[in-house]
């Protein structure tokens, strides 16, 4: 059975789900947040230590302004009402990406990270305003500036995921088979599962089915 320390998820399909069932993309984002809470609980049950969620990419700014505003309002409300609960469950929250948001949201994000930074049960890495290409460019710049030898070990120190093990497993919902500029360096040897269901329809049974499949895969990491 393969050990499973880190699961990364591209939570795709909220908008399509909302239009299909509620005639509103925003309704899909709200429903998707409920799925997030279910998957967090199931991650803890499976004794997985790291969960990385792709919440908002650098490309998502191209979406309609009203939708973007609603997404950040949802996040604000989630942090205001749920961070104490996450803290009480011994969950650590870390933000990866560039914190270029409103003063209110930045303050909430910083507070949430500080509040939970000593917790050890589960670390949730929330990818917000995150783009892997930009992360890699910035890392190369830092390595060059500090005149370090360019190798895998030194380079990894300048990624936003430093001190976090690379994902063992990537799940993307929404019936789309691509990485969408997410953790391009870190996913080099991850097992990747593309799920047809839209994110709000993804449930604990689906999650555990993928986990069980992952555990039975023969992982060679380039060897025989």
pLDDT digits (tens, 9 = 90+) for 84-141: 999 999 999 999 999 999 999 999 999 999 999 999 999 999 999 999 999 999 999 9
- Radius of gyration for the chain, computed over Cα atoms and rounded to the nearest angstrom: 17
| Number of other CB atoms surrounding residue 48 within 10 Å | 19
Cα–Cα distance for residue pair 80/51, rounded to 1 Å: 21
pLDDT digits (tens, 9 = 90+) for 173-212: 999 999 999 999 999 999 999 999 999 999 999 999 999 9
Residue ranges covered by each domain of the chain: 6-132+168-216
Chosen CATH of 6-132+168-216 out of 3.30.70.270, 3.60.15.10, 3.40.1180.10, 3.90.190.20: 3.40.1180.10
| 186 or 150, greater pLDDT | 186
pTM of the model: 0.96
Catalytic residues: 12, 60
Cα–Cα distance for residue pair 90/31, rounded to 1 Å: 25
Cα–Cα distance for residue pair 94/41, rounded to 1 Å: 17
Q: Are 54 and 13 in contact (CB under 8 A)?
A: no
Q: What is the DSSP letter of 101?
A: S
């Amino acid at each position: 059975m393969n050990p499973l320390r880190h699961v990364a998820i591209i939570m795709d399909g909220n908008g399509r789900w909302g239009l299909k069932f509620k005639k509103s993309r925003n309704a899909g984002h709200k429903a998707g947040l409920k799925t997030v809470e279910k998957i967090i609980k199931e991650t803890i049950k499976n004794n997985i230590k790291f969960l990385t969620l792709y919440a908002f990419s650098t490309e998502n700014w191209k979406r309609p302004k009203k939708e973007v505003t609603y997404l950040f309002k949802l996040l604000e409300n989630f942090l205001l009402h749920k961070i104490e609960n996450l803290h009480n469950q011994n969950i650590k929250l870390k933000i990866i990406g560039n914190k270029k948001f409103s003063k209110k949201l930045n303050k909430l994000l910083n507070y949430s990270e500080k509040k939970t930074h000593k917790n050890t049960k589960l670390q949730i890495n929330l990818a917000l305003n995150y783009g892997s290409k930009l992360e890699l460019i910035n890392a190369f710049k830092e390595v060059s500036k500090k005149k370090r030898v360019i190798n895998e070990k030194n380079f990894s120190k300048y990624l936003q995921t430093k001190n976090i093990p690379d994902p063992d497993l990537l799940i993307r919902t929404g019936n789309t088979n691509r990485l969408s500029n997410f953790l391009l360096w870190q996913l080099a040897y991850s097992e990747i599962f593309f799920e047809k269901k839209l994110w709000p329809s993804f449930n604990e049974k689906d999650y555990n089915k993928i986990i069980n499949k992952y555990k039975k895969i023969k992982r060679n990491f380039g060897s025989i």
